Amino acid sequence: MIDMKPLYEAVLKGDAATARALTEQALASGMEPITVVKEFMVPAMDEVGRRFECNEYFVPELLLAARAMKAALELVRPLLVKSGVEPQGRVVVGTVRGDLHDIGKNLVAAMLEGGGFEVVDLGVNVTPEKFIEAVKAKNANIVALSALLTTTMPAMRATIEAFKAAGLRDQVKIFVGGAPITQKFADDIGADGYSENAPGAVTLAKVHAARAA
């Protein structure tokens, strides 16, 4: 049996090359792709999130860990698809219309991917219509909206309203986040959840996935 603890460590330390090489080895040795993900990668990203919450990790460590996870996932994902393994959920992520900032959105996207979700990243300045199109096209069940500017916070409400108008509001959970966003604002605009950081967004998504299962 191949020792996979180093894969966990590689993701935790953000060593993309090692994470990818070890994943390759594991798959070549016959380990089930889902085992690689569930037993080693996801726990590593959970630990990354925990360390961030405890101020042991900061944004650079988060980014590097996510990059390592992504490098390893690139090998595993096609195999998971081939064997019919569904992701924990499909999340459409984007920074709302009028807002061009992407660091928070990128972190959330990377951490969600690391958490076992399939992520459709629409980028920045995303119109409500684009969010709706992506949800339809990908059959996504979660939408994560990001905003850094107070001026673009109303675009979150507009996006949620657009989902209602399109008759899709009940099919998706909509989470919001970003520097000016608060729980109160999330409640006011009818969002399903709010997180003040990327690891928190993963927790929200996981809670939703568990409830939906």
**Interacting residue with other proteins among 39, 77, 79, 101 (CB under 8 A):** 101
Between 14 and 115, CB nearer to other proteins: 14
Least Cβ distance, residue 14 to other proteins (angstroms): 7
Pick the closer one to other proteins by CB: 37 or 68: 68
Residue 158 near other proteins by CB under 8 A: no
Q: Given phi > 0 = left and psi -120 to 50 = alpha, else beta, which region is 14?
A: left
Comparing CB distances to other proteins, the nearer of 29 and 151 is 151
HSE-up of 89 (CA within 13 Å, CB side)? 27
Per DSSP, the residues of 78-131 read HHHHHTTPPPS-EEEEEEBTT----HHHHHHHHHHHHTT-EEEE--SSB-HHHH
Binding to other proteins in span 16-35, by CB under 8 A: none
> Residue for token digits 């950081």?
197
Segment near other proteins (CB under 8 A), from 28-36, 71-79, 84-92, 94-102? 94-102
59 binds other proteins (CB under 8 A): yes
Where do the H-state alpha helices sit in 141-194? 153-165, 183-189
d(CA 9, CA 205): 24
**CB 109 within 8 Å of CB 143:** no
State which of residues 63, 79, 158, 166 lies at the interface with other proteins (CB under 8 A).
63
Count Cβ atoms below 10 Å from residue 192 Cβ, excluding itself.
16
Residue 100 in contact with other proteins, rule: CB under 8 A: yes
Q: Report CA torsion sign: 105, 90, 160, 174.
A: negative
Q: Could you tell me how many residues of this chain bind other proteins (CB under 8 A)? A: 25
Of 50, 58, 74, 165, which one interacts with other proteins (CB under 8 A)? 58
Residue of the chain from 9, 21, 67, 157 that contacts other proteins (CB under 8 A): 67
52 binds other proteins (CB under 8 A): yes
Q: Which of 21, 27, 149, 166 binds other proteins (CB under 8 A)?
A: 149
**Contact set with other proteins (CB under 8 A):** 14, 52, 55, 57-61, 63-64, 67, 98-101, 103, 106, 125, 149-152, 180, 182, 197
